Every structure is written in C-alpha cells, then in structure tokens.
Amino acid sequence: MKKVLLGALALAAGLMTGVSAQAADALTLQLKWVTQAQFAGYYVAKDKGFYEEEGLDVTIKPGGPDIAPEQVIAGGGADVITTWMPAALASREKGVPLVNIAQPFKTSGLMLTCRKETGIASPADFKGKTLGVWFFGNEYPFLAWMAKLGLPTTGGADGVTVVKQGFNVDPLLQKQADCISTMTYNEYWQVIDGGIPESELVVFKYEDQGVATLEDGLYVLEDKLADPAFVDKLARFVKASMKGWAYAREHTEEAAKIVLDNDETGAQTEKHQLRMMGEINKLTEGSTGKLDEADYKRTVATLLSAGGEDPVITKEPQGAWTHAVTDKAGIE
C-alpha cells in the first residue's frame, strides 16, 4: 500500500511539473547581432529567472552578418526582434509592418572614428574624404547626416567617397578609409586593440551631431498586437527584460560573465565583454523601456531629412510605435 501511495504521489508530482512546464508561455526573441553585451539584459533576464517568474519560456536567437531580424520575424521565425529604428521604419514602409513596443536603449552608440593624421578635425573636413559605412540598414543615419551637411555621397572633391565597410575595422587600420563607422561599445575598442592609440583618433558621435536615431528597440508585427493574450505575454517579457537591464547596470562583471556563458561560438573574450558592458550600460541608462515620443519624432525627422534618390522613408510613418505593451507592464 505504501508503494502504491508513493507511486501515486510521484505520478501526481510529475503531472504537476508537466502542467507547470506547459503553463509557461513560449516566446522567441531574434537579436540584431551575435551574442555579446549589447544584448546582456535579455541573457541576464533568462539566466536569473526573471522570465520564468513572469511565466515565460524565452528562446534567444543570436543574429549575425547574414541574418536580418526584419526578415526573420516576417517569415515567422521570431515573435519579437531587436533592431534599429531606421531599419524598422524602412521595413515598415516596404510592407513589413513592424511596431516598436519598447525602447531599452535611450542613447545612440554610433560614431565615425577617424585618424587624426588625415587632418579631419570637424565634420566640415569630411569633404573629399573616404568614409567607411555599414550597410544592411545601418547606413540610414549616415545618409541623413551627410544630407544635413550638404555632402553628396557619390565621391568627388565636393562630396565624400563611401566605402562599404564590413563588420570589422580593417579599412581604418589599413588606411583604406579616413574614417569608419564604429560603436562606442565595440568597434572603437577594436581600433584601439588594433594598435591605434586614442590620442591619434578623432571621434564624432551621432548624438553630438544631432543626427542620432534610436537603436536596439523591441519590435513585433502589427497584426499580432490585436491579440490581448499576445500583448499580455509581451508585457511580461518587457517587464522581465527591463529588470534584466537594471541588473546588468548594477552587476557589470556578472552580466558580462552571463553573456560569455551564452556565447556558443567561444569568440568573445572576458576583457572585451567587460568593456562593452560598461559602455552599453551608459546607453540603456535613463530608459524605463517606454519609448519617448520626442526621441521617436527626432528619429523620423532625421530620416526624412536624408532625402536623396533612395530615401530611408518617404513620408511620416503611421502606427509605427505603441505604448500598449509598456502600459500593460506598468512601466512609466
């Protein structure tokens, strides 16, 4: 009788565990880039059980040079993505109805980093120079900046020559470009590690130039927001993610270690991730996760000012963001 009772209890416990596991709502997040401290908040939230506390089973899919988050979500490969707003708005205008549901990053980390020996001391000195630019959606802020400066990007003495930059800093190290695109938390330090000291560099932050656009927001497909259950799931996801970002700011070393533990490629180093985590914390500081409408309008105005033959967006977007998710999460 005792064995029967123990067996029944074990079966009941197993059933309860199964029900509990099934009760967790599955959600897939597609990152813009590879596993690194740029996405620490999400890895921390998963590692520390913040998603689990919200009844979520979150799968985090790393990105890479051959992965476009906008295409992944359009094809049903993710529920939510991280991407830069220019790319999201461009995709929306082209038929992929992305909506910003939260904005963990308050500040842009994008810069142009130049060799001081080129004689570049201000943006006025860009004329006639060769500039390295990332494409695949990352070129939009640059094009807007050049339009603001009145510099054509077709080369010549009165314009700038654009080098399609790979996701490395070789054009600057090898003197193939006078300036290259860098992020405050990543490529800038690759330049330093590549042997060029800070004293020989000049940097221009997009924030300081008044042409910064929002980066690393969270986006979903518009039609999915018609489902209250999905909105509720997203609200729990955003709430837990922001808890992860707050934890990362307070525990930099631990957050960097969590990122390293999730790097299946083994490509990342502790030194680089610690440094990156410190810089990323500066970009997320000041954000509750709720999109600031003024930041959104600034981004749109910057993109509309770019003009040119292939503009990022041709008109004011409609319905490109919502506070429904952060409001549901109780985020102010």
pLDDT per residue of the chain (332 residues) written in tens, 0 to 9:
444 444 444 545 554 444 344 589 999 999 999 999 999 999 999 999 999 999 999 999 999 988 999 999 999 999 999 999 999 999 999 999 999 999 999 999 999 999 999 999 999 999 999 999 988 767 888 988 998 899 999 999 999 999 999 889 999 999 999 999 999 999 999 999 999 999 999 999 999 998 999 999 999 999 999 999 999 999 999 999 999 999 999 999 999 999 999 999 999 999 999 999 999 999 999 999 999 999 999 999 988 887 666 678 889 999 999 999 999 999 99
Q: Is residue 66 part of a domain?
A: yes
Looking at residue 285, the DSSP 8-state letter turns out to be T
**Which residue range is the domain that position 84 belongs to?**
24-106+214-328
Specify the length of the chain in residues: 332
| Beta carbons within 8 Å of 79's beta carbon, 6+ residues apart | 27, 28, 29, 73, 220, 224, 230, 234
Q: Do 74 and 175 lie in a common domain?
A: no
Cα separation of 232 and 267, whole Å?
36
Q: Do 142 and 54 lie in a common domain?
A: no
Task: Map tokens 């000012």 to a residue.
Answer: 305
Q: Do 188 and 236 lie in a common domain?
A: no
pLDDT of amino acid 137: 67
pLDDT of amino acid 96: 97
Q: Is residue 54 part of a domain?
A: yes
Q: How many domains does the chain have?
A: 2
Q: Do 243 and 316 lie in a common domain?
A: yes
